[in-house]
Amino acid sequence: MAERSETESRKLLGRLREAMAEDSAGQARLDKIVHLIANSMGTEVCSIYLFRDEETLELCATEGLNSESVHQTRLRMGEGLVGRVAKYSRIINTDNAPSTKGFRFMPETGEESFTSFCGVPIQRLGEKLGVLVVQSKDTRDYSADEIYALEVVAMVLAEMTELGAFIGEGAALSARHQQSVMFKGACAQEGAAEGNVWLHEPRVVVTNPIADDPEAELNRLNEAVDQLRIGVDRMLEGAQGGDKEQLQVLETYRMFANSKGWMRRMEQDIAQGLSAEAAVEKEQSTARARMSQAQDAYLRDRLHDLDDLSNRLLRILTGQGQTSSADLPANPILVARNIGPAELLEYGRGLKGIVLEEGSVGSHATIVARALAIPLVIHAERITTEALNGDQIMVDGDLGRVHLRPDESIVTAFRDKIAMQAKAQERYSSIRDKPAETPDGAIVELHMNAGLMADLPSLPTSGAEGVGLFRTELQFLIRNKMPQRTELAALYSRVMDAAGGMRVVFRTLDIGSDKVLPYMTPHDEPNPAMGWRAIRVGLDKPGVMRMQLQALIRAANGRALTVMFPFVAQYEEYRAAKAEMDKAMERERILGHPLPASLEIGAMLETPSLAFAPQQFFEDVGFLSIGGNDLKQFFFAADRENERVRRRYDTLNVSFLTFLEGIVERCHVTNTPLSFCGEDAGRPIEALCLAAIGMRTLSMRPASIGPVKSLLRRTNLSELKEVIHAAREHGEQSVRPAVMDFLRTQS
């Protein structure tokens, strides 16, 4: 970089800082800045466009274009060269603007006389804020040095915008982080919550983007990077022998922390006049812009790693963001890009709601949020850049919507909704100790699904008659090493204690597919949901299953024990698993440990094949539980985690209900106890239909028991069964419309 251009750039930044320090209005500052830039670069035009809403850019200040067009000229994202710079977060530099792809003529600005154009995005940490443009009459190719200087200026403008230096009249100059914003995400855990934002990754604000002593800034950067490297090395030492994925991430951190390219770019930024933290943030912004465009998942992950590392460095440099959960606001709603299951558990039940930018319905964090019954919205794009700690926030987990800094009207409507839900809860608690008995005398047993010790307190308050599914894998997923037998035995024993004699169905480890244990060698499978998972792993590598069965027998310590094997696809698998249980019992007997007073062994029916197993299987198996989540995905060949297809087929589709009815009949013939424990059991309409086709035991999230019981107690199942059969005879695809009509006539 030429020494002269560095000095020029520093001079310009120095003047910008003076402009910022002046006690003037936002508009006056902007006017001064465009004037300064145009002068410093010797170019006729300099303009600043800022977003007035997510889609519209507005000309906010100009030197050289028609001053009447300020605040009048507007462009949509992607429109004209300016709109394209914003849309693609890419610089456009041309000496012949009119013949450049995307050019749009704006007569009101008088720009027709300017042929050369250079536009640079104004962006901050992946958020698009506007565009900085220079233009000139003569055919001029802005040099690499000049463009670099413009980028640095754009970065400073972004920081100034964030700091509120340009607040003025109109939408484009309105204060940031104050408007009400609604985010449309996806629902991962139902429920509504109101509270205050708690950012999982605290936001760092750079208050001094410009510095005049590059030497001192370089020293600050070097010291901070040294500290960062030491920290990463320490983390690496601590992680040796543990979680492989975490190790890989830390190795990548180390690689970046020692990357010469990264350091060189930041040093150049400082030489141009930026402070050390502004240099870090500039590179972070560039990486974020690339991240949003990157198609390749591996590259995206690495850019994420760089982003995390930059955050660490910023925290070291500014001393900000060293908050602890002791600072949690009242009614905290966690806002994060993503979060791991163990971190989420650390926050625990104190959280009122969770909003993630990423996440998936089947992720471990989602499983934990569900277990804790905390409303969760995923895919709320950009919320971490928009939300500030302490902001008022409302989470609608039913619709997947989030209202940040909501208006009065939204607050009122939302509170009404919460009040209605609370009223419904009151109604449910009044029937808590009553059976789920229908007016025509059918009794349906309602049980709850659980997976954590934290779930058990809900057992007495929910009105459940037991735990119909205890997902044991959660205990394995939230640790970073294999739990020990004694640890597991103690935990299972506490679960049984908490259940106070009610039946708990322990499902043996269901790993593989989406549930990958961090401390087991990952197997790259083309289709893990149909791969080496659950009982398949348990039978091929029986060590863990044996340990788990032993832990269960010891936990029972003479009490009744119920064990269920997941994902059994054929009779033989059940027989082999049961033989393992027999062996475990025998071993415990020889060792002199007390054996369970009674032992029930069952299987989950999660693959269509098992519905067609020989009669002997149905006679042999202690009980069957339909894992509707998996069964449905295999029945319709529609991935339960794929947003594109997961809602495509209705559970009340005639084919699926007919199939389920067939299973009910087979169990009836052999007198095999049958239950249903997928998510659909907790949806009142679906639960009603399952009961109508003959299911008498349903297991669901604790919060669903009240609504399901309430509806069952009001519905005549034999009439509903006729409605279902009539809809099938009419050739309907789904029985839902007919069922809804029937229920409307009932209420």
* Active site residues per annotation: 364, 677
Q: How many helices (H) and strands (E) does the chain have?
A: 27, 23
CB nearer ligand PEP, residue 333 or residue 569: 569
Asked whether 438 and 692 are in contact (CB, 8 A), the reply is no
> What does the DSSP 8-state code read for residue 653?
B
CB nearer Mg ion, residue 103 or residue 532: 532
Report helix, strand or coil for 168.
Answer: coil
Q: How far, in Å, CA of 154 to CA of 660, rounded?
A: 61
Asked whether 306 and 256 are in contact (CB, 8 A), the reply is yes
According to the binding rule CB under 5 A, does residue 538 interact with Mg ion? no
Provide φ and ψ at 104, rounded to 5°: -130, 130
CB nearer ligand PEP, residue 661 or residue 679: 679
CB nearer ligand PEP, residue 201 or residue 641: 641
Shortest spacing between CB 627 and Mg ion, in angstroms: 4
CB nearer Mg ion, residue 283 or residue 679: 679
According to the binding rule CB under 6 A, does residue 266 interact with ligand PEP? no
Shortest spacing between CB 603 and ligand PEP, in angstroms: 12
How many residues make contact with Mg ion (CB under 5 A)? 3
CA dihedral 676, 576, 522, 645 (to 10 degrees): -30
> What does the DSSP 8-state code read for residue 274?
B
- Rg of the chain over all Cα atoms, to the nearest angstrom: 31
CB nearer ligand PEP, residue 198 or residue 470: 470
- The pair of three-digit structure tokens given for residue 40, joined into one six-digit string: 């410093």
Per-residue x/- mask for ligand PEP, residues 454 to 473, rule CB under 6 A?
---------------x-x--
> What is 510-559 written as a DSSP string?
--BTTB--TTS-----S-GGGSS-THHHHHHSHHHHHHHHHHHHHHHTTS
Per-residue x/- mask for ligand PEP, residues 485 to 524, rule CB under 6 A?
-------------------------x--------------
Range in contact with Mg ion (rule: CB under 5 A) among 221-229, 603-611, 652-660, 692-700? 603-611
Q: Which one of residues 185, 332, 468, 627 is an interface residue with ligand PEP (CB under 6 A)?
A: 627
Range in contact with Mg ion (rule: CB under 5 A) among 407-415, 623-631, 690-698, 716-724? 623-631
Shortest spacing between CB 629 and Mg ion, in angstroms: 5
Shortest spacing between CB 688 and ligand PEP, in angstroms: 18
According to the binding rule CB under 5 A, does residue 630 interact with Mg ion? yes
Burial of 358 (0-12, 13-18, 19+ CB in 10 A): middle
Shortest spacing between CB 563 and Mg ion, in angstroms: 16
Scan residues 22-51 and list those touching ligand PEP (CB under 6 A).
none
According to the binding rule CB under 6 A, does residue 678 interact with ligand PEP? yes
According to the binding rule CB under 6 A, does residue 692 interact with ligand PEP? no
Closest CA to 742 of 733, 722, 730: 722
> What is 386-443 written as a DSSP string?
H--TT-EEEEETTTTEEEES--HHHHHHHHHHHHHHHHHHHHHHHTTTS-EE-TTS-E
194 CA to centre of own chain: 19
Burial of 624 (0-12, 13-18, 19+ CB in 10 A): buried
Asked whether 1 and 268 are in contact (CB, 8 A), the reply is yes
Range in contact with ligand PEP (rule: CB under 6 A) among 170-178, 265-273, 628-636, 646-654? 628-636
CB nearer ligand PEP, residue 383 or residue 469: 469
Shortest spacing between CB 729 and Mg ion, in angstroms: 32
Shortest spacing between CB 606 and Mg ion, in angstroms: 5
Asked whether 337 and 378 are in contact (CB, 8 A), the reply is no
Query: Among ligand PEP, Mg ion, none, what binds residue 338 when CB lies within 5 to 8 Å by partner kind?
Result: none
CB nearer ligand PEP, residue 33 or residue 495: 495
- The amino acid that residue 528 corresponds to is P
Shortest spacing between CB 164 and Mg ion, in angstroms: 51
Range in contact with ligand PEP (rule: CB under 6 A) among 17-25, 33-41, 411-419, 621-629? 621-629
Shortest spacing between CB 630 and ligand PEP, in angstroms: 3
Q: Which one of residues 677, 690, 693, 703 is an interface residue with ligand PEP (CB under 6 A)?
A: 677
Scan residues 229-258 and list those touching ligand PEP (CB under 6 A).
none
CB nearer ligand PEP, residue 155 or residue 469: 469
Q: How far, in Å, CA of 372 to CA of 353, rounded?
A: 10
Q: How far, in Å, CA of 685 to CA of 703, rounded?
A: 15
Shortest spacing between CB 535 and ligand PEP, in angstroms: 12
According to the binding rule CB under 6 A, does residue 606 interact with ligand PEP? yes
Range in contact with Mg ion (rule: CB under 5 A) among 64-72, 133-141, 598-606, 690-698? 598-606
Q: Which one of residues 629, 670, 716, 734 is an interface residue with ligand PEP (CB under 6 A)?
A: 629
CB nearer Mg ion, residue 277 or residue 606: 606
Scan residues 706-725 and list those touching Mg ion (CB under 5 A).
none
CB nearer Mg ion, residue 130 or residue 628: 628
Q: How far, in Å, CA of 590 to CA of 322, rounded?
A: 55
Range in contact with ligand PEP (rule: CB under 6 A) among 129-137, 241-249, 287-295, 622-630? 622-630
Shortest spacing between CB 691 and Mg ion, in angstroms: 21
**Where is 257: in which H helix or E strand?**
helix 244-257
**CA distance readout (Å), 119 to 130, 343, 461:** 10, 42, 62
Provide φ and ψ at 463, rounded to 5°: 90, 10
Q: How far, in Å, CA of 615 to CA of 233, rounded?
A: 60
Closest CA to 674 of 624, 628, 629, 627: 624
According to the binding rule CB under 6 A, does residue 628 interact with ligand PEP? yes
Q: How far, in Å, CA of 122 to CA of 131, rounded?
A: 5
Q: Which one of residues 31, 190, 630, 686 is an interface residue with ligand PEP (CB under 6 A)?
A: 630
Query: Among ligand PEP, Mg ion, none, what binds residue 678 when CB lies within 5 to 8 Å by partner kind?
Result: ligand PEP
Shortest spacing between CB 679 and ligand PEP, in angstroms: 7
Q: Which one of residues 406, 627, 684, 702 is an interface residue with Mg ion (CB under 5 A)?
A: 627
Around 163, how many Cα atoms within 13 Å sit in the side-chain half-sphere?
16
Range in contact with Mg ion (rule: CB under 5 A) among 81-89, 119-127, 461-469, 602-610? 602-610
Report helix, strand or coil for 293.
Answer: helix
| Sheet order of strands, 192-199 included | 181-184, 401-404, 392-396, 192-199, 332-336, 353-356, 376-378, 186-189
According to the binding rule CB under 6 A, does residue 341 interact with ligand PEP? no
Range in contact with Mg ion (rule: CB under 5 A) among 467-475, 606-614, 660-668, 711-719? 606-614
According to the binding rule CB under 6 A, does residue 682 interact with ligand PEP? no
Shortest spacing between CB 514 and ligand PEP, in angstroms: 9
CB nearer ligand PEP, residue 515 or residue 721: 515
Asked whether 621 and 614 are in contact (CB, 8 A), the reply is no
CB nearer ligand PEP, residue 93 or residue 366: 366
| Sheet order of strands, 116-124 included | 74-76, 56-63, 45-53, 127-136, 116-124, 92-94
Residues near Mg ion (CB under 5 A) are 606, 627, 630
Binding site residues, ligand PEP, CB under 6 A: 469, 471, 510, 606, 627-630, 677-678
